[in-house]
Structure 1
Amino acid sequence: MITVNLYYKGTNGSARAFADEMEASGIAEAIRAEAGNLRYVYFQPINDPETVLLIDSWADQAAIDAHHASPMMKQLAELREKYDLHMTVERFVSDEYEADKKFIRS
């Protein structure tokens, strides 16, 4: 699994407005329905009301590539421009480490 954390930074509530429009317009739900999408969830940091975090997980790089080639990317880019958002990105490849499980309360 590949997880991409996208931090959308705006002003005057624009990052939250972007996430709200992504949900209300159905774009977020359409992305969730794409083959290989495992998670597409927005969060807002408690200490930073001008940032929204998107946690976006995919089965593999091929699924991400197909998503990037989809028509929804144009809609996404237009919304980012509309709300004048700037982004930073972190990318992680998941692994299972059995020793960590003893610290996780399920």
Structure 2
Amino acid sequence: MAITVNIYYSGINGNAKKFAKEMVSSGIVGNILAENGNLKYEYFFPMNDEETVLLIDSWEDQHSIDVHHASPMMAKITELREKYDLHMRVERYVSDEAGISETDRSFIKE
């Protein structure tokens, strides 16, 4: 059962993109990707909102997320969020163990 957390970071003056770029350039993202249980940690930029960045953060299980949240890395992330004065909106999803249905697969080109 994978858990995916979508975090929408919003700011002003391009700060959300600056935050994401610094997360990557500082090596924090690479360190998170190397953590046990991390499946994905990737930023996306919505086309209709220049001041928001979407982080898709996926983990094998809740324990992996808890270990990540207890790590010293979280202080660095919090510091960067404060540096760029970002606000967050969070969505959380648990994977469907049954997978993609055959009906839905008919719409997917692989």
Q: TM-score, normalised by structure 1?
A: 0.97
Which residue is equivalent to 2:26? 25
- Deviating 4+ runs (over 6 angstroms): none
Superposed displacement of residue 97, structure 1 = 3.3
Which residue is equivalent to 1:64? 65
| Structure with the bigger percentage of helix | 1
Name the SS of the counterpart of 2:49 in structure 1: coil
Q: Deviations over 1:29-61 (max 9, x none)?
A: 100100000000000001111000000000011
Name the SS of the counterpart of 2:91 in structure 1: strand
Q: Does 1:39 align with 2:43?
A: no
Superposed displacement of residue 102, structure 1 = 2.4
Q: Deviations over 1:2-27 (max 9, x none)?
A: 10000000000000000000000000
Structure 1, unpaired ranges of 5+: none
Which residue is equivalent to 1:97? 100
**Matched length:** 106
CA RMSD of aligned residues (A): 0.8
Moved more, 89-98 or 30-39: 89-98
Q: Deviations over 1:59-86 (max 9, x none)?
A: 0111101100111000000000000000
Name the SS of the counterpart of 1:103 in structure 2: coil
Give the distance between the partners of 2:58 and 2:88, measured in 1 at CA. 17
